[in-house]
Amino acid sequence: MRPSFVNNFNDHVPRRAALLLAASLLAACTSKTQVPWAAQSSFGPPPASSNPEPLVKGPQAIAALLARGGYVIYMRHGRTQYDQIELERTNRQNGSFSLDRCETQHQLSEEGRAEMKATGEQFRAARIPLDKAFSSRYCRATQSAAFFVDGAEPTQSLSGEGEVGLNPANKPRTIAFLSQVPAPGKNTYMMAHGGVFWEATGFVIQEGNAVVLDPRNLQVIMARIGPQEWGSIAQARQP
């Protein structure tokens, strides 16, 4: 049952506005200290106003697209332990947070780890031609990336508190990082966060999902790939 104040508010404004008000009040009640979004951008982005339809759909077409190369495969880390969001926030505030200490961070859940392992096996079976591979420095991202590729380079540019999070004025630098054009016939692989993706593109990506971007125009989404779809792409890539 919805809270009574939402029902009353609905008499005067659209239902969407009432729900947004309820969400804001709930957030205020669950956090003792308000933290600017940029300081916790790795926790996930606000909803995008619109997300364009991908240009390419279906395993056969996506497999052919990635085989040609020239794209950025941007993945968001696996599902996480949501009860640790407040832990990471508190550790930031008291100065104990460290990118070198996983126990101070919001980490992968067991379900997320298992899903990333299975998805990573399917991704490797797809034999996607890759040029360079990068990941955020957060443990949830480096651990997720290890299931998919070997030797992904951790970089501050993809970290939730990195180029965008520490200073939104650095947004052009983050966009430039995502705009790296891979070597001919290959793709660039990136494992990072929803917040960085939203800052660079204005679009949303869910945990464990991948988006294929055109590095020449980040407003173009070539394909969206869910965790369960890599198996079909791998089959399409079989000789």
User: Which of the four pLDDT bands, split at 50, 70 and 90, describes residue 111?
Assistant: very high
Nearest to 136 by CA among 128, 126, 144: 144
The rounded distance, in Å, linking the Cα atoms of 160 and 135 is 11
CB 82 within 8 A of CB 207: no
- Annotate the chain with three-state secondary structure: CCCHHHHHHHCCCCHHHHHHHHHHHHHHHHCCCCCCHHHHHHHCCCCCCCCCCCCCCCHHHHHHHHHHCCCEEEEECCCECHHHHHHHHHHHHHCCCCCCCHHHCCCECHHHHHHHHHHHHHHHHCCCCEEEEEECCCHHHHHHHHHHCCCCEECHHHCCCCCCCCCHHHHHHHHHHHCCCCCCCCEEEEEECHHHHHHHHCCCCCCCCEEEEECCEEEEEEEEECHHHHHHHHHHCCC
CB 72 within 8 A of CB 188: yes
CB 233 within 8 A of CB 67: no
- Report pLDDT digits (tens) over 137-171: 999 999 999 999 999 999 988 987 655 556 767 78
- Report pLDDT digits (tens) over 28-78: 333 333 333 333 333 344 444 578 899 999 999 999 999 999 999 999 999
The rounded distance, in Å, linking the Cα atoms of 225 and 61 is 12
The rounded distance, in Å, linking the Cα atoms of 35 and 170 is 20
Tally of residues, the chain: 239
Q: What is the chain's Cα-based Rg?
A: 19
Nearest to 198 by CA among 78, 51, 21, 92: 51
Which CATH number is 59-236 given?
3.40.50.1240
Judged against a pLDDT cut of 70, whether residue 2 lies above it is answered with: no
Domain ranges of the chain: 1-30, 59-236
- The pLDDT, as a whole number, for residue 39 is 33
pTM value surpassing 0.95: no
The rounded distance, in Å, linking the Cα atoms of 235 and 231 is 6
- Report pLDDT digits (tens) over 205-216: 999 999 999 999
